[in-house]
Amino acid sequence: MAEELGKMMNKKVVILTNDGRTFTGMLRGVDQVTNLILEDVEERIFSQTEPMRVEKYDVYLFRGDDTSLIGLYSEEKDGQVNWSEVRADPVGPITHYSCLFKQSILHY
C-alpha cells in the first residue's frame, strides 16, 4: 500500500472517508499508519434539495483508520459532470466487508 500511495505523492487525489465525506486535494504526506496530508482541499457536500456545495481548506489531515478509499483525481472525468445539477444523498457511513462477514458468522 505504501508503494501505491508513494506514486500518488504530489498529485491530486480523491478521498472517501468512513463517514461518507468526499474530498479532493494534493497529496503531500503519508506515514506508516496511512495518515494522509492533503493541500488545497475541497470537500464536496451533497444534498437532495440543493446543488453540491464545496468547502475549501488550505490543509487537511486524514487519519488512516478513518479513510475508506483514495484514488487519483481525473480532471477529464470530473469535467464531464455538471456538478451544479447533481442532487444526491450524502454517501453515508462506510461498512467494511470484514465487519459484515463477522456479523454473518454470528447469525448462523
Q: What is the pLDDT of residues 37-80, one digit of tens each?
A: 999 999 999 888 988 999 999 999 999 889 989 999 999 999 99
Span 86-104, mean pLDDT?
67
Q: How far is CA 87 from CA 37, 40, 45, 50, 102, in A?
A: 29, 25, 10, 6, 34
Predicted local confidence at residue 86, as pLDDT: 85
User: Which whole number is the average pLDDT over 90-96?
Assistant: 73
Triad 95, 5, 82: Cα angle to 5°: 65
Kindly state the average pLDDT of the residues 12-18: 94
Q: How would CATH label the architecture of 2-106?
A: Roll (2.30)
pTM confidence score: 0.81
